[in-house]
Structure 1
Amino acid sequence: MGEGRAKNLDINVLDKIVKHTIGVVEKSKSQIFDIYEAARGEMENVKRDVERIKKETTDIISRVDALGKRERRSRLRLMEVSRNFHEYNEVDIKAAYEDTSNVQLELAMAKLQEQTLRHQRDDLEIRLKVLKQTVEKAENLVSQVGAVLGYLGNQMGSVVTEIESLKASQIFGANIIRAQEEERRRVAREIHDGPAQAMANIVFRAEVCEKLIDADIARAKDELKDLRGQVRIALQETRKIIFDLRPMTLDDLGLIPTIRKVLDMIKERSGIFPELIVMGEDKRLDSHIEIGLFRIIQEALHNVEKHSKAGTVRVRIEFVRSNVIAIVEDDGQGFDNSENIGGESFGLMGMRERINLLQGEISIQSKNGSGTKITVNVPI
């Protein structure tokens, strides 16, 4: 009895250590991501400032050139009046002198402004370069920490499993941590580059409209019309991200209606002609099988849309007694599958990882110029 309590105590302590370690790494990852977001936002602000300063510098250089020419003409005029003072009266001489003095003063101020702007531009460009390096380092750190989390989860889970067989489920969770972290990063990037950027632009356009309301109502109306379009685009992007995260139709209607909707979206976005063929009895599958199959087919279709330059894509799903077979085939440019072994994209690796979790099989056939065919066989 005493040995049993000691064993349980050791397991509990180990669990606590594992959770604390992963929690610390998670917190560090969150802090690094906050730094990344702050640096990226500051980088965008500095980039806009650099463009503004460059324009102002170009304008002041043109003004300095114009004032230089005007100053030379003014000095020549003053020299002419001074040499021929008997032909000009005192008023003419005074006017020529004052004009030269004014132009020289204006030129000196313009040159000073040009020098100031050049310094500001150089300082901002240096700052922008440093911020870019910070953003790149933070982005790499986020990815590396995510991989560390996956490694820690996998290794610690294995240790606990060896100590106590009742905790074997930890192995499954540890195997998918890396995929979860990469998915979170992808979603964060999509939100940042899509709706977040669009909303930032909406805020800027709204500020422009506020300034134009009293000054130019017609232009304000045009800006508001454009603003409405920006809001509509942001809404579409947000709905797309929500659909990619978890399509409601998958829970409500099942795999086939959800795939059909994805194909309709691809046709609308890219013009690729889709075809869906269903063989056998369309039936609801276990939730984890439906979501796993959907993610594999979704990733395959994403690759077709993004990389294949295809004109058509065919999805065939066959339900048999103990298996479901899914085939995604396109007529695009394909790729040399033999050269891709060992250097697969994360998308292909993610598909293989998901099929392993479903205890199924996947086959990828492709050649340069001959399209791609992906076959998935999952036991149900």
Structure 2
Amino acid sequence: MTSDDILEKLDEALSGYQEDLDRTRRELSEVETLVRQSNSEVEKLTQRELTVSNRVRDLEVNIERYSKDEIKNFYTTAQEVQMRLQIMRGQLDQVQMRRDVLRNRQGQLAQLVGLLGDLADLLRNAGKPEANAGSEMDTETMVANIIQSQESERLRISLQMHDGPAQSMSNLVLRAEICQRLVDHDIDQARAELNSLKTAINATLQDTRKFIFDLRPMTLDDLGLVPTLRRYANQFNEKGAVEINLMIQNLEQRLPGHYEVTIFRFIQEALNNVVKHSGANQARVMLDVSGNTLQILVEDDGSGFHVSDTLENASARRNMGIASMRQQIEVLLRGEFGIESAIGRGTRVAATIPLP
């Protein structure tokens, strides 16, 4: 395959992703308008509920002043307002989740469009194919590695969706069917089951929001890498499974967007491996900028493993994680990646990244 063929494929991919990015931006704009409208409606209903509640309290204190019809109308109105408010709050939660998903996708597409554009420019400036055979091969390999990295990330997300939100949603559907059957036979039991279902829905909503944060934290765009890592480490420490000690030195400035996303993904994958495979009690994450180089270190006190045996097993999930981390550092950021481990001596993952 010649450099012209590679460039043509890059341009086709870039055009397709740019169209997808434009569509996502338009849809995000529409959803954000819907969020604002829903927020406004919820605020109006909340104010109306407060007014109606005050009238109901006055009725209860001075019930002798009101006729039966007035009492009935007050309670009917209060129930209708409360029901409408609950429905609108549920709709608001849904559109907010949709907005967060679209924001994540927009960020990912923007990163991919930028990366493909840089690769296309690099290839255009590389000169004649005959004089740059080695460069041509390097570019082709880079494109293949980027595509493989994308597919690995999609596989990781699909597994997480299957094991997390999809399972929870399936359970919620079954419980809703139970509530539906109980309504005709035991209304008190149906109410109790509905309260339990509401609690389960709230828990699933929180898990889904956490999944969205793991997919692409909004704080990455708003505040940057360092605050996002601190929040991520705090989440680990709140769970109590593994204690994370985060140390960041000489990294006061913001980095380009694709650097911050890739570095966060790298540390996220490393910590996920610690939790899933190491059996560690503690892990240390260190970032240190020296000159124009960022050093990253993630080490744990877990059980360790044979690195060579794991890398030879191409289907192992841990191997997939290591391959993803290597591609993130070596392919996307042009850095160096290394991993050391031994049985009973924990694991040490290191990366050296040249900063722009």
Distance (Å, rounded) in 2 between the aligned partners of 1:263 and 1:302: 12
2:332 counterpart of 1:374: no
Pair 1:230 & 2:200 matched: yes
Instruction: Determine the structure 1 residue equivalent to 2:325.
Output: 351
Equivalent runs, 1:190-269 vs 2, <5 Å: 190-269=160-239
Q: Distance in 1 between matches of 2:341 and 2:307?
A: 6
Greater relative CO, 1 or 2 (CA 8 Å, sep 6+): 2
Distance 1:220 1:268, change over 3 A: same
In 2, the alpha carbon distance for the partners of 1:324 and 1:15 equals: 34
Looking at structure 1, the residues matched to 164 and 243 of structure 2 have their Cα atoms a distance apart, in angstroms, of 26
CA distance in structure 2 between the aligned counterparts of 1:266 and 1:300, rounded to whole angstroms: 13
Correspondence list, 1:265-284, <5 A: 265-284=235-254
Q: Given residue 346 of structure 1, which amino acid in structure 2 is its aligned partner?
A: M
Aligned match of 2:286: 316
Give the SS at the match of 1:276. Answer: strand
Q: State the secondary structure of the residue aligned to 1:318.
A: strand
What SS does the corresponding residue of 1:215 show, helix, strand or coil? coil
Q: 1:360 aligns to what?
A: 335
| Kept after mapping to 1: 8 A contact 2:241/2:275 | no
CA contact under 8 A between 1:282 and 1:319: conserved in structure 2?
Answer: no
Alpha-carbon deviation of 1:267? 2.1
Question: 8 Å contact 1:270–1:305 — kept in the other structure?
Answer: no
Match in the other structure for 1:291: 261
Which consecutive residues of structure 2, in runs of 5 or more, have no partner in the other structure? Answer: 17-115
Q: TM-score, normalised by structure 2?
A: 0.58
User: How far did residue 173 of structure 1 move?
Assistant: 3.9
In 2, Cα distance between equivalents of 1:233 and 1:318: 37
| Deviation larger for 350-359 or 190-199 | 190-199
Shift of 1:346: 0.6
Specify the alignment match of 1:328 in structure 2.
298
User: How far apart, CA to CA, are the structure 2 residues paired with 1:364 and 1:262?
Assistant: 22
Q: Partners in 2 of 1:340 and 1:271 — Cα distance?
A: 24
* Aligned 1:1-380 pairs, distance under 5 A: 15=8, 171=140, 172-343=142-313, 345-357=319-331, 358-380=333-355
Equivalents in 1 of 2:213, 2:350: separation in Å?
A: 24
Q: Which runs of 5+ in 1 are unaligned?
A: 1-10, 24-152
Equivalent AA in structure 1 for residue 263 of structure 2 = L
CA distance in 1, matches of 2:144, 2:309: 30
The amino acid of 1:228's aligned partner reads K
Structure showing greater radius of gyration is 1
Matches of 1:182 and 1:281, distance apart in 2: 29
**Most deviating of 191-200 and 322-331:** 191-200
